[in-house]
Amino acid sequence: MRPWILLGLLLFPALAQGDGRYLVGRILALEAQRDVALVEVEGGRLEALLPVDG
């Protein structure tokens, strides 16, 4: 079930924090081992934390 949830995340915009504010971007890649997603925002790339199962 977890792979389907991660795949679903690719369909939605992602929020990443940068410069003290949140930015909306596009998910480029998922790193499930580190629980982060690589997000492209305003021409740059940031890491966004993925939700934790629980």
Please report where in the chains the tokens 């991660």 appear, as a residue: 6
pLDDT tens digits for range 8-38: 656 556 666 666 676 777 778 888 788 888 8
More confident residue, 50 or 34: 34
Q: Round to the nearest angstrom and report the end-to-end CA distance of the chain.
A: 14
Q: Where are the domains of the chain?
A: 2-49
Residue 9: its pLDDT value, please?
59
Confidence of residue 52 (pLDDT cuts 50, 70, 90): low
Residue 54: its pLDDT value, please?
43
pTM of the model: 0.50
Q: Is the Cβ–Cβ distance between 39 and 45 less than 8 Å?
A: yes
Residue 49: its pLDDT value, please?
77
Q: Is the Cβ–Cβ distance between 31 and 37 less than 8 Å?
A: yes
